[in-house]
Chains A and B, each alone.
Chain A
Amino acid sequence: MDDSQAIRECQNGETSAFRILVERYQGQAVGHAVAILFNREDALDAVQEAFIDAFKAIDTFDRARAFYPWFYVLLRNRCYKMRTRNRETESIEDTEILAPQVGLPREERVALERALVSLPREDRELITLKYLDGLSYQELAEHLQIPKGTVMSRLFHVRKQLQKKLTGQFPLR
């Protein structure tokens, strides 16, 4: 069943059709929430709340649009409203944002993750959506509900910030 069909059934009061959407997007949503909150438990709570919000608002959803960008707006609202718990450990032993890459030494991945974590949440969200999801400026503008010009200037400043943080951490190749 595709998204549009599942949403139509949800709009007709079929709660079970919502399961398809939850199961289809939960992994992606948790990844996005972790990138903002940097805490898996908080991320799981935020995603759960966002799915409840989505179900409540499903009647207002325009089926001509894609589900996930619409859901993402609800998800980030939830993430930014949350009071975050502290991470249990100071050291980033298990990286939660970046996937292990063949050929990239682990310490470099950890250093990059550290640099990402030290960025403000909004900046971390922007840079991960750009590079890890490969979103275009237009898609970033839609996801973040900001003008395209703002995406461009924020991205520029975040890249510069990241560049500063990474210089000295390990030699950039």
Chain B
Amino acid sequence: MNEVNCDDVLMAWMAESDGEEPMLAVQQISAHIKSCGNCRQEIEQMLRVDSLLKTQGRHQHVANLWPAVEKRLSSRIVPQLGWAPFGLFGAICVAYKLFEMLPEQAPGLAFKLVPLILIVGLFLVIKENPFRINAELIGER
């Protein structure tokens, strides 16, 4: 028969009493407890703490956070709306410069700017700020 240590048995007993799947067979747990006075004593203590905790409830906190959250959200939305016109203005300036350069025999430089225009255009179309904070939050999980 496999030897099991007391902590493993107690952990399995705890899982079972919480209605979860124990990591040891129920027979194995009860056989060990039956023969181990130390585990029986531990279980008695655990049951006391368990019954004390089970009678507790969480303190109900009253809060009204909406005014503050709304203020933060509206202050956040204003610069967001202001970003698109600047982007559009920048794109128009670049396009104008390219158009101006074409007759001056510098099409190579002009075409180097095409990918830049495409990227700016892409961000404008998908309306997605690449520096969004939620990327950092997702990364932490």
Whether the Cβ atoms of B50 and A159 lie closer than 8 Å is yes
Whether the Cβ atoms of B133 and A159 lie closer than 8 Å is no
B104 at the interface (CB under 8 A from A): no
Q: What residue of chain A has the Cβ atom nearest to residue B133's Cβ? A: A56
B119 at the interface (CB under 8 A from A): no
Q: What residue of chain B has the Cβ atom nearest to residue A104's Cβ? A: B55
User: Interface-forming stretch among B31-39, B60-68, B85-93?
Assistant: B60-68
Whether the Cβ atoms of B70 and A15 lie closer than 8 Å is yes
The residue among B45, B59, B68, B77 with the most chain A CB atoms within 10 A of its own CB is B59
| A-chain residues with CB within 8 Å of residue B73 when the two chains form the complex | 15, 18, 52, 55
Whether the Cβ atoms of B63 and A19 lie closer than 8 Å is no
User: Interface-forming stretch among B14-22, B94-102, B107-115?
Assistant: B14-22
| A-chain residues with CB within 8 Å of residue B62 when the two chains form the complex | 27
A95 at the interface (CB under 8 A from B): yes
Give A165 Cβ to nearest chain B Cβ, in Å: 10
A3 vs B10: C-alpha distance in the bound complex, in angstroms?
40
Whether the Cβ atoms of B58 and A22 lie closer than 8 Å is no
How would residues 99 to 140 of chain A score, 1 for a CB under 8 Å from any chain B CB and 0 otherwise? 101011000110010000000000000011001110011000
Give B46 Cβ to nearest chain A Cβ, in Å: 6
Whether the Cβ atoms of A159 and B59 lie closer than 8 Å is no
Interface size class of B (residues with CB under 8 A): 35 or more
A98 at the interface (CB under 8 A from B): yes
Chain B interface, DSSP helix/strand/loop, else mixed: helix
| B-chain residues with CB within 8 Å of residue A60 when the two chains form the complex | 134, 138
The residue among B19, B58, B74 with the most chain A CB atoms within 10 A of its own CB is B58
Q: What residue of chain A has the Cβ atom nearest to residue B18's Cβ? A: A137
Q: What residue of chain A has the Cβ atom nearest to residue B19's Cβ? A: A136
A156 vs B12: C-alpha distance in the bound complex, in angstroms?
9
| B-chain residues with CB within 8 Å of residue A22 when the two chains form the complex | 65-66, 69
A6 at the interface (CB under 8 A from B): no
A92 vs B77: C-alpha distance in the bound complex, in angstroms?
41
Whether the Cβ atoms of B68 and A48 lie closer than 8 Å is yes
| A-chain residues with CB within 8 Å of residue B49 when the two chains form the complex | 159, 162-163, 166, 172
16 contacts between A and B (CB under 8 A): A15-B77, A48-B72, A52-B69, A56-B134, A60-B134, A77-B137, A96-B59, A131-B56, A152-B14, A156-B14, A159-B50, A163-B49, A167-B45, A172-B45, A172-B49, A173-B52
Q: Which 9 A-B pairs have the closest CB atoms?
A: A57-B134, A172-B48, A30-B61, A132-B58, A99-B57, A131-B53, A156-B11, A163-B49, A99-B59
A residues contacting B by CB (< 8 A) are 15, 18-19, 22-23, 26-27, 30-31, 34-35, 40, 43-44, 47-48, 51-53, 55-57, 60, 73-74, 77, 95-99, 101, 103-104, 108-109, 112, 127-128, 131-133, 136-137, 145, 149, 152-153, 155-156, 159-160, 162-163, 166-167, 172-173
B residues contacting A by CB (< 8 A) are 7, 10-11, 14-15, 18-20, 23, 45-46, 48-66, 68-70, 72-74, 76-77, 132-134, 137-138, 140-141
